[in-house]
Chains A and B, each alone.
Chain A
């Protein structure tokens, strides 16, 4: 039996900035229960039986899509994946048309990834099923943010005052933005580190401290969240070379040692080992990277559960 302290007061999950601290806590508590389901022998529960979820992915992402797919399936929903390039517009079909087609099929939840910032919000204005944002451009990736918060909460009683350092390409990272927004609600002390060319101008206005020197940023960190570096950024001239990136900004055991002993190491995956993260620490004791994947599934189950059934105390253990 899951008792959520508050119900979600909203239908759609677009970003962490618009969720209240209580709502996030409610999701995280629910996710904790969901972990129990995942660790069962027989994972399937009938909680969402009769509900349908469409994964509408305009950008390829095996990881997030699979996670949502299994989340729906473990809860007994019918899940369909639609992976299409955003260029279906070429065929004359707009995003609105695509969404309306899916809606017409009687879908309850649309999990959507799109390269355009704000696409998920636009979707809520087009159709009535619940929209869960699985990533809209560089704007938001709320489930990643939630799973990172969940992972941190597993280790620390309170996130308040926790020093979290996010390292890498902040400018193009929806993961960073989601984490910053989520952590702010819990009073964490967020620091950003990376090349100046990959940190947005005026980033301080997000309520964070900016460093261009990773060593300096890492001092006494409780959590080190390493972002994935897209090699296109190098081709577009934002940093000189992968080799230089690894030398100056890459996370390695020597740098990680500057953080507090036992500090958590996170990475949203997939990792470029040898670039933003050195192989020896990727699977070290401090690394929560594998744990993040399972937590991601739990968080997505919790979300699907809460958005479809709200705060109703549904018997999960049927």
Chain B
């Protein structure tokens, strides 16, 4: 079907365009952007009060498929993405099997083509089985379509493997994503080490574990001339380290998650397993610093680290619960509430961090609204008030620290390749 979006506020950061326009979608592509467009065989949609942006891209998603489908699968994960306004998600390799060969990359891409509601990009592992010992077939995976390389949640302890992995990845002009947390400092920790952990008696994960790892990884990236991307930055000092590295020309980029931008370690006060995440939610001064890093460009992108777990896995004592929670369906609302409605960021900047930047980081032909491009479009109602209710989530992972929170702003439409996949929060799947 063809669609004519009438009278929406088009925000296209690639051209720094922000203004009222009509957008015509024909045969999966953007056919026209202009004023007073008319079209015969198109479904006309009134966009008054709504924002039309290039489709949002989440560069850090745990899709859990293959192998861990009880937590999430291709269908549920991509539905959650469409519901959250995302048109592309990049999935991390810690599945079962690990994404450490081209066969697995191709398998996911094939399944995504059949069952996925949004575009799925695959991130391959650095080491075989994410064991931190032997290089995975990085080049082979990239040739089969992997867009980035990472052992994600696994901190690469061996500096030697990290160096070799970076060198090897850098040949292919792909980003090398690292989870930065010096292992020996966080081994038994379950939350940020600080006042709250002192009070609760929970073992801490000090922010310096992240700082040391970020510093080491930056130094190796500088030495090997690698495009290093630091996942989910959460500490003040690591933001500063990245800022300094960028200033001296190191090819380093970074992302922050909505939860590290919005929540502090006080969320753990009730021992809620929904607040257990890695890196942990930190104290207010760290949250401030991460926000500042996002505003001044030190942090390039916002990514969810969507990490769904089955209900019973999170339904236990805090110490035993796995790290992570669902993020796709709350991300935009949290960001708009915390950063747009507080006047810290413009919609243009937010779309930049949630679409344009991730597209560039992953070398994707996305993040733009232009005639001829695939019609990957997100429709946002920035003023819509809603309450987070995980029972309505499309993801299988119902755990979220934002449960019950009132948010302002939401995606109300998602076009993927010209197909309307979500409307008014309802995923439309044929």
Contacts and interface: CB of A to CB of B under 8 A. Distances in A.
Assign chain A's interface to a size class. Answer: 10 to 19
A240 B136 contact: yes
B105 to A, nearest CB: 13
A237 B139 contact: no
A212 B171 contact: yes
Given A237-B164, A238-B164, A243 B171 contact: no
A88 interface: no
Contacts of A196: 167-168, 170-171, 224
Contacts, number: 46
Nearest to B100: A240
Contacts of B37: none
B168 A195 contact: yes
Nearest to A196: B167
A237 B143 CA distance: 20
B227 to A, nearest CB: 13
B137 interface: yes
Contact of A240 (B138, B160, B170, B224): B138
Contacts of A241: 137, 140
Given A195-B171, A196-B170, A212-B171, A240 B161 contact: no
A9 B225 CA distance: 44
Contact of B135 (A213, A239, A248): A239
Given A243-B137, A248-B139, A237 B160 contact: yes
A247 B134 CA distance: 18
A253 interface: no
A-side interface mostly: loop
A87 interface: no
A243 B135 CA distance: 13
A247 B168 contact: no
A244 interface: yes
A240 B167 CA distance: 12
Contacts of A238: 164
B139 A240 contact: yes
A197 B137 CA distance: 14
Interface in B119-163: 128, 133-140, 143, 160-161
Contacts of B137: 240-241, 243-244
Contacts of B168: 195-197, 239-240
Given A244-B137, A247-B139, A237 B171 contact: no
Nearest to B135: A240
A238 B161 CA distance: 9
A237 B134 contact: yes
B168 to A, nearest CB: 5
A197 B164 contact: yes
A241 B134 CA distance: 10
B222 to A, nearest CB: 13
Interface string A232-252: 000001111101100110000
A212 B164 CA distance: 14
A205 to B, nearest CB: 15
B134 A240 contact: yes
Nearest to A211: B171
A196 B226 CA distance: 11
A17 B171 CA distance: 30
Given A238-B164, A240-B135, A247 B140 contact: yes
Nearest to B170: A196
Contacts of B164: 197, 237-238
A238 B128 CA distance: 13
Interface of B: 128, 133-140, 143, 160-161, 164, 167-168, 170-171, 224
11 contacts: A195-B171, A196-B168, A197-B167, A238-B164, A239-B168, A240-B128, A240-B136, A240-B139, A240-B140, A241-B140, A244-B137
Interface of A: 195-197, 212-213, 237-241, 243-244, 247-248
Of all A-B residue pairs in the complex, the 6 with the closest CB atoms, nearest first, are: A212-B171, A240-B135, A196-B167, A240-B137, A244-B137, A248-B139
Given A197-B164, A197-B167, A243-B140, 11 more contacts: A195-B171, A196-B170, A212-B170, A237-B133, A237-B160, A239-B168, A240-B134, A240-B139, A240-B168, A248-B139, A248-B140
